[in-house]
Amino acid sequence: MPWQKTITLLQRSKGCHLVTDEILPQISEGLRQTPIGILHLFIQHTSAALTVNENYDPGGSTRRSNGYHTNGYFKILVRDMSMALDRIVPESMPWLHTDEGPDDS
Summarised one tens digit per residue, pLDDT across range 43-90 is 887 678 888 776 555 554 444 454 445 567 777 888 888 899 889 988
pLDDT for residue 27 is more than 90: yes
pTM above 0.85, yes or no: no
Alpha-carbon dihedral angle through residues 65, 71, 77, 81, given to the nearest 10 degrees: 180
Q: Are 104 and 83 in contact (CB under 8 A)?
A: no
* Predicted local confidence at residue 56, as pLDDT: 53
Q: Are 70 and 57 in contact (CB under 8 A)?
A: yes
Q: How far is CA 78 from CA 14, 39, 67, in A?
A: 12, 24, 17
Q: How confident is the model at residue 25 (pLDDT cuts 50, 70, 90)?
A: very high
